[in-house]
Structure 1
Amino acid sequence: MQEELITIGELATRTRLSLKALRLYGDRGLLPPARVDPRTGFRRYGPAQVERARRIVLLRATGMSLTRIVEVLDSSGEKPVRLLTSYWREQESVHVARRAAVGYAREVLTGRSPTMYEVSERDVPEQKVLFIQRHVTAADLPGFLADSSELLFSHLRQAKACLSGPLFAVYHGLVSKDSDGPVEICAPTQSPDVEPAGHIGVRIEPAHREAYTALTKQHEGYSAMAAAHDAVGVWLAEHGYAVSASHREVYYPNWATAEPGEHVADVAIPFRPGPISDLGKVNR
């Protein structure tokens, strides 16, 4: 027996979704109708679309993006639950990072000297690095970090070379919802055979001294990172040091697998003794 199809209006009534949302989901491939009349363009939906719409509503209530909802709903077996669990862990991590940033901002707004971040100094030797540079906002930053890292790793493999230290990002300008850097993702290597290719450049990173603060996995989110950049900059100003190069973040190999309390990254700023430089205004 052929299943009974319903109109988009009836689907809206059953799901409480607006006609605008249903059309948007259909156009995005998230909720395609069971049938579209080739002459009138009228959309018809079956029981499968009603159930799918119900699941979209539930997942949107968690704050999940439409792109990720497609991935969840188009998966099978236990994968949808794993994807949802992974998404929620990310959201909890973001919440923890924002809570740390709020605590830091509260100290700043009350006029107290922030104490949340312990800042140290170290010397960094000259090193050869492969790099990819792009203008990105905060929303695009995670994808750029992941994609660029994979391209750099692939280039190293093709050259039969390897990393000589952890990946790091150089922030030549502020990265936020409104500001787009630019940002360089850098892979250090000692191989003399690695050459530029496509969007991948090669340069020598000068030796320098830098101030840095170590971050754990639970504080690796954007908000906590932004507070850490500010804290290191304040430390430099208080010690009378001049910023000598752009801010950076160092990412250690355990970044993706670490427990909440494990050290996964550093926020660092190269400096030299002397008057405060205008470069000190450049941060994440």
Structure 2
Amino acid sequence: MLTISEFGRRTGLSHKALRLYDVSGLLPPAQVDPANGYRLYDEEQLERARRISVLRQVDMPLTTISEVLAGSDEEALIRLDRWWIAQEATTAARRATLQYLRDRLSRSGTPGLAPRPVLTRDVPETKIASIRSDTDQQMLIGVIVSSTDEIRAYLGTAGATLTGESWVIYHGAVTPEAEATVEVCVPFGGLVDPSGPIAIRVEAAHREAYCTITMDECAFPRIMLAYDLVFDWVRATGLPESGPPREVYLPDCHLLPRDQPAVDIALPILERKA
């Protein structure tokens, strides 16, 4: 058995960190001396402790570390890759946001979104797999990417047919200061049961107004100009809204050039009565 000092020395973890991991259940000691409360660790815990230390160096939250280390090494690798893809997407979105702000500051008074039409279309009844999450603006991109990957992986394992597109429904206003519920949706064909956070439901047929933007224009806050365009058009035409807004991602949109059409900003509306 190793004392907390020896264990900390061999893993590079401080006493404070080890106590935190004990309280959180991430790395409890093998034994606690009932007489003096000293924590004792087993040598077999060294590898888990070192993995925790490395994951904390890339700022992975404790809850995510717990998920990564919960299963086999193969499962940990999948979860690790999924989390890192989400982090890179978040970083790319923040970089695009910064570039948008720099552009607006250096060219004050210029429009932030080139003129484009708002169109309408009929969307058929669609079977979808979805994950609902509460998130703020900072974590939004990571939530979208990780949830989409999780759903697609599950549907692929279940033998479902994928269409390539996906969308995100906003059940509330996601801002830098407040969380709201978003629903990541992936349409599919076939028979699939719900599993864990993944729900299976049918999205009703509806009509929607939409405009198309590029990946560069997806960055917050520039994307809000596209939402304004669609909402203003709907109000001007007097058509009642029939559902929450959504972002519809075209197949493989992340592979398209950043200045090419890639995402539709859409709002369900009621049919105009004759």
The 3-state SS of whatever aligns with 1:232 is helix
Residue in structure 1 matched with residue 204 of structure 2 by the alignment: 204
Match of 2:233 among 234, 241, 257: 241
How does 1:141-156 map onto structure 2 within 5 Å?
141-142=143-144
Which residue identity lines up with residue 18 of structure 2 in the other structure? L
After superposition, the Cα gap between the structure-2 partners of 1:190 and 1:94, relative to the gap in structure 1 and judged at 3 Å, is closer
Q: Structure 2: 5+ residue runs without aligned partners?
A: 191-198, 270-274
TM-superposed deviation, 1:128: 1.6
TM-superposed deviation, 1:174: 1.2
TM-superposed deviation, 1:67: 4.1
The 3-state SS of whatever aligns with 1:207 is strand
Structure 2: how far apart are the matches of 1:206 and 1:14?
A: 61
Q: Provide the TM-score with structure 2 as the length reference.
A: 0.62
State whether residues 242 and 271 of structure 1, in contact with CA within 8 Å, keep that contact through their aligned partners in structure 2: no
State whether residues 128 and 189 of structure 1, in contact with CA within 8 Å, keep that contact through their aligned partners in structure 2: no
Q: Provide the TM-score with structure 1 as the length reference.
A: 0.60
The 3-state SS of whatever aligns with 1:125 is strand
State whether residues 170 and 245 of structure 2, in contact with CA within 8 Å, keep that contact through their aligned partners in structure 1: yes
The 3-state SS of whatever aligns with 1:233 is helix
How does 1:219-238 map onto structure 2 within 5 Å?
224-235=218-229
The 3-state SS of whatever aligns with 2:94 is helix
Residue in structure 2 matched with residue 251 of structure 1 by the alignment: 249
State whether residues 248 and 264 of structure 2, in contact with CA within 8 Å, keep that contact through their aligned partners in structure 1: yes
How does 1:135-174 map onto structure 2 within 5 Å?
136-138=134-136, 139=139, 141-142=143-144, 166-174=165-173
The 3-state SS of whatever aligns with 1:58 is helix
State whether residues 120 and 211 of structure 1, in contact with CA within 8 Å, keep that contact through their aligned partners in structure 2: yes
Residue in structure 1 matched with residue 178 of structure 2 by the alignment: 179
TM-superposition CA deviations, 1:192-244 (whole Å, max 9, x none):
xxxxxxx75545343233212132xxx69xxx54335313135558xx63456
Number of residue equivalences:
248
Structure 1: how far apart are the matches of 2:230 and 2:72?
A: 50
The 3-state SS of whatever aligns with 1:170 is strand
Residue in structure 1 matched with residue 124 of structure 2 by the alignment: 127
Structure 1: how far apart are the matches of 2:164 and 2:122?
A: 11
Matched-pair identity in %: 30
Match of 1:113 among 110, 113, 128: 110
How does 1:26-37 map onto structure 2 within 5 Å?
26-37=22-33
State whether residues 31 and 39 of structure 2, in contact with CA within 8 Å, keep that contact through their aligned partners in structure 1: yes
The 3-state SS of whatever aligns with 2:180 is coil
The 3-state SS of whatever aligns with 2:220 is helix
Residue in structure 2 matched with residue 213 of structure 1 by the alignment: 213
The 3-state SS of whatever aligns with 1:53 is helix
After superposition, the Cα gap between the structure-2 partners of 1:179 and 1:265, relative to the gap in structure 1 and judged at 3 Å, is farther
Which residue identity lines up with residue 207 of structure 1 in the other structure? R
Residue in structure 1 matched with residue 19 of structure 2 by the alignment: 23
Structure 1: how far apart are the matches of 2:71 and 2:155?
A: 31
Which residue identity lines up with residue 96 of structure 1 in the other structure? A
